[in-house]
Amino acid sequence: MNKVSFANSNNPSITMSAVINHPTGFDEKRRYPVIVVSHPGGGVKEQTAGTYARKLAEQGFVTVAFDRSYQGESGGEPRQLENPYISTEDVSAVIDHLTTLPYVDQDRIGAMGICAGAGYTANAAIQDRRIRAIGTVSAVNIGSMFRNGWDNSVKSIDALPYIEAGSNARTTDAEGRGYATMPLAPMSEADAPNEELRQAWEYYHTPRAEYPTAPGFATLRSMNQIITYDAYHMADVYLTQPIQIVAGSGAGSKWMSDDLFDRAASNDKAFHVVEGANHMDLYDGEAFVAEAVSVLAPFFMSKLAATAAVAEPAA
């Protein structure tokens, strides 16, 4: 494991923070397949993204878990901005950096994400053809979630007040009164509307997985970009790479994984349902994560056509 920092190629004033995991027997003189792992909304690389990155590295891949711009240990102001367009571009910025590393095979780059990170990964793959294979876990299209609710029970037009709130927040931000914020997961147990989202509070705000750089909220001004964002825009035309989707049978968010599967143009797509798991179980439930990795690892091995054992010598 190697903690690194590098300039974001989309905005060189922002320094990105990431952890690169190397497989057993790593030899920097050889070329390896790599998997970029994107964290959930409100999360950081030290949480579930780091878990999946470590477990996939054990299967022979170089893996990278990173903090998105404005979040975690990455730079950028205002802190906790959750601009989905920037978050999508961050995936490509990480790949830009990886292509400068001599031990990374530029023809064998995969990407995966959890929750909103899965949506950002899919969106990045639609426009970045260097991503040869895509994996998703508990996928969330963050625009759809905020427009239509956790269980897809809200009409899009009913989210108009959120755009109004984001617009007004930009005014108060500009007046120097501090950046208004909004929760990305319940900030208290009492705020959780159901058990699944109670577990989201527990994950981010108790010893279960809390981390100092993951406060669980975003700037309210982010709402303007989130509400109008569609992580799967043009997936029916351009998302042609192989894709492996993983979701829990009891996840309130499963409909967003279903939507991705239905909309992806790929002729090589698969959907694995983890029976008995909800959205949060796939973050850190030992047996559930193990099942997800047991599906994702062979998928990436096949589609990236290499493991560390057959890594090619570097030129």
Q: What is the pLDDT of residues 62-83, one digit of tens each?
A: 999 999 999 999 999 999 999 9
Q: Does pLDDT of 311 surpass 50?
A: no
Euclidean distance between the first and the last CA atom of the chain, given in angstroms as a whole number = 24
Distances in Å between the Cα of 183 and the Cα atoms of 70, 115, 144, 197, 215 are 16, 15, 16, 12, 9
- CA 79, chain centre distance (Å): 18
- CA 97, chain centre distance (Å): 18
pLDDT score for 99: 97
Q: Does pLDDT of 180 surpass 90?
A: yes
Q: Of 222-226, 284-288, 310-314, which gets the smallest average pLDDT?
A: 310-314
Contact 229, 82 (CB under 8 A): no
Q: Does pLDDT of 310 surpass 70?
A: no
Average pLDDT over residues 43-63: 98
Instruction: State phi, psi for 158 to the nearest 5 degrees.
Output: -70, -10
Contact 57, 26 (CB under 8 A): no
Domains in the chain with CATH codes:
2-141+231-304 (3.40.50.1820)
Side-chain-side CA neighbours of 72 within 13 Å: the count stands at: 27
pLDDT score for 305: 81
Contact 134, 244 (CB under 8 A): yes
pLDDT score for 263: 98
Comparing CA positions, the residue from 301, 163, 177 lying closest to residue 224 is: 163
Average pLDDT over residues 262-272: 98
Comparing CA positions, the residue from 52, 64, 70, 81 lying closest to residue 246 is: 52
Q: What is the pLDDT of residues 94-133, one digit of tens each?
A: 999 999 999 999 999 999 999 999 999 999 999 999 999 9
Q: Does pLDDT of 309 surpass 70?
A: no
pLDDT score for 250: 97
pLDDT score for 193: 93
Q: Max CA-CA distance within the chain? A: 58
d(CA 151, CA 69): 28
Cβ-based neighbours of 76, under 8 Å, separated by 6 or more:
11, 13, 14, 69, 70
List, as one string, the DSSP characters of 246-274.
EEETT-TTHHHHHHHHHH---SSEEEEEE
| More confidently predicted of 29 and 311 | 29
Q: What is the pLDDT of residues 10-22, one digit of tens each?
A: 999 999 999 999 9
- Residue 165: burial class (beta carbons within 10 Å; 0-12, 13-18, 19+): middle
pLDDT score for 308: 34
Average pLDDT over residues 182-203: 96
pLDDT score for 313: 45
The per-residue pLDDT of the chain, averaged, comes to 95
Q: Does pLDDT of 163 surpass 90?
A: yes
Residue given tokens 């159901």 in the structure block = 194
d(CA 220, CA 239): 30
pLDDT score for 1: 83
Average pLDDT over residues 205-229: 97
247-273 in b/e form (b: 16+ CB < 10 A) is bbebbbbbbbbebbbebbebeebebbe
Q: How much of the chain exceeds pLDDT 70, in percent?
A: 97
Q: Residue 177's pLDDT band (boundaries 50, 70, 90)?
A: confident
pLDDT score for 314: 47
